[in-house]
Amino acid sequence: MLISFRDLPPYIRPTWIEVNLTNVQSNVRLLKNHIGEKVHLMAVVKANAYGYGMMEIARTSLSSGATWLGVATLDEALVLRREFLKNIPILVLGYVPTEHLSVASNSDVTVTAISLEWIKEALSIVQQPIDFHLKVDTGMNRLGCKTLDDVRKVIELTAGHRNLRFTGVFTHFATSEDVNNRTYYRTQLKRFHEFLEIIPNRTEKVVHCANSGATLYQDEKPFFNMVRCGKALTGPPNEPLKHLLPVPLETSISIHSQLSLVKQVDAGEKIGYGDDYTTNETQWIGTVPIGYGDGWHQDFRRTGVLVDGKRMQIVGRISMDQLMLALDREYPVGTRVTFVGQQGNETITGDDVAREAKIPRSEVFSSMSSRVPRVYPKIPNAGIINIHNYLLNSLCLLGVTYYLYYTRS
């Protein structure tokens, strides 16, 4: 029997991430107001925009005041370029192997020069014009030229070069959200100024160093002519520092599922794999269709979930596709279970989950897998799509491809 791909519901398993693009729109506008008209806002949308959905966050950011897009890989940049016109600049912030520079050049993607060695390799390979931003390492010790000497050599080697075009310079902070100790941040900023002193034609270049933390929490306003924000596009970068925000950013994500089975279990029974949890009295147990294969890891269970406006505990080991809850009573199948978000007066934030799991909040959302559809309630008066189901969307694409193949052959 032929499946009609067009007739499929947008998603079938009732587990979803909801992203409020109206809040993203407002956050981006507030950020743009904060940095000022003359400063570009780069929307950093790497890793599927930290799990929120790369295309949707990119589109909303661009229509709300962002003028650049930043990603970690050339693969991500190519996906964006397929969608956005060439006049939207895209910078790959991470490593691009030099043998792929022609791919970047063909798609008008700007790349990062990560070291003097990278520049030397690029010079020996490059056949067509490509823009690069030079990364200088002021203390993160990840990517970038570490010494003034290396930067001088980069300048010398690329000066007036026909194909390798030096159009920007940047660095990245290790501790921009540490408001209790700003010493390391300030040392990095000072070092960045030292690098800038030796950069020729600096006013013609794009100069940037501020991520969300430096944009929002640091008095020096180290904006130069561009800032690069990821976390701040979708809410306060750090819930405990919300009171320090110069603009009222709003959270925009929630994660939900539903009870798929509810049963009463006798005392002394095991719940889930292994010996993780044994009931010590008769207990209502609810099964929920989300697991670590969706990105809901063992360490995330400490926060519990919300059912009927009350906090319930996740019990037993989380399976790949499912987990179990200890319920306070019987609930109907289909009852909403909220992992992040609000029910009644109770709220679980991404920061709560991150704190209990002892990881940064970005790790919680960016670990949510493509199996979980992202749902985007419509922004009034904007053509924003409603639902992105990575699995069924690819099936539809496959369906269209098959259709075209068979009708043409």
Ligand X SMILES: Cc1ncc(COP(=O)(O)O)c(C=O)c1O
Q: Say whether residue 168 binds ligand X (CB under 6 A).
A: no
- Answer whether 79's CB lies under 8 Å from 54's CB: yes
Q: Record the tokens describing residue 255, joined without a space.
A: 């994660």
* 320 is annotated as contributing to ligand binding: yes
Q: Say whether residue 350 binds ligand X (CB under 6 A).
A: no
Nearest to ligand X of 21, 93 (CB atom) = 93
Nearest to ligand X of 66, 259 (CB atom) = 66
Nearest to ligand X of 142, 263 (CB atom) = 142
- Answer whether 130's CB lies under 8 Å from 74's CB: no
Nearest to ligand X of 168, 237 (CB atom) = 237
Between 207 and 226, how does the x/- string for binding to ligand X read (CB under 6 A)?
Answer: ----xxx-------------
Q: Say whether residue 19 binds ligand X (CB under 6 A).
A: no
- Catalytic entry in 86, 190, 263, 273: 273
* DSSP notation for 279-302: -SS-EEEEEES--GGGT--GGGGG
Between 45 and 84, how does the x/- string for binding to ligand X read (CB under 6 A)?
Answer: ----------------------------------------
Q: Say whether residue 32 binds ligand X (CB under 6 A).
A: no
Distance CA 340, CA 347 (A): 7
Distance CA 231, CA 238 (A): 9
How many Cα atoms within 13 Å fall on the side-chain side of residue 85? 3
Nearest to ligand X of 25, 238 (CB atom) = 238
Q: Say whether residue 229 binds ligand X (CB under 6 A).
A: yes
Question: Least separation, in Å, of the C-beta of 263 and ligand X?
Answer: 42
* Residue number, nearest CB to ligand X: 230
Q: Say whether residue 230 binds ligand X (CB under 6 A).
A: yes
Cα distances (angstroms) measured from residue 133 to each of 199, 205, 209, 400, 404: 12, 9, 12, 39, 41
Question: Least separation, in Å, of the C-beta of 100 and ligand X?
Answer: 19
Q: Say whether residue 361 binds ligand X (CB under 6 A).
A: no
Question: Least separation, in Å, of the C-beta of 207 and ligand X?
Answer: 14
- Catalytic entry in 11, 32, 46, 52: 46
* DSSP notation for 2-26: ---GGGS-S-SSS-EEEE-HHHHHH
Of 31-39, 57-65, 227-235, 373-381: span binding ligand X (CB under 6 A): 227-235
Of the candidate residues 21, 28, 35, 44, the single one contacting ligand X (CB under 6 A): 44
Distance CA 111, CA 90 (A): 8
Annotated active-site residue 273? The verdict is yes
Q: Say whether residue 172 binds ligand X (CB under 6 A).
A: yes
Q: What angle do CA 175, 359, 357 make, to 5 degrees?
A: 150
φ, ψ for residue 232, nearest 5 deg? -65, -20
- Answer whether 6's CB lies under 8 Å from 396's CB: yes
Cα distances (angstroms) measured from residue 255 to each of 118, 188, 295, 296, 338: 41, 37, 11, 10, 6
* 1 is annotated as contributing to ligand binding: no
Between 113 and 152, how does the x/- string for binding to ligand X read (CB under 6 A)?
Answer: ----------------------------------------
Of the candidate residues 40, 231, 256, 317, the single one contacting ligand X (CB under 6 A): 231
> Which contiguous run of DSSP H or E holds residue 258?
strand 253-258
Question: Least separation, in Å, of the C-beta of 112 and ligand X?
Answer: 8
Q: Which residue reads 């008095």 in tokens?
A: 219
Long-range contact list for 193-199, CB < 8 A, 24+ apart?
194/148, 195/136, 195/138, 195/148, 195/151, 195/169, 195/171, 196/169, 198/148, 198/151, 198/152, 198/155, 199/134, 199/151, 199/155, 199/169
**Residue list for the binding site:** 142, 320
Show which residues are catalytic: 46, 273
Residues that bind ligand X (CB under 6 A): 44, 93, 172, 211-213, 228-232, 237
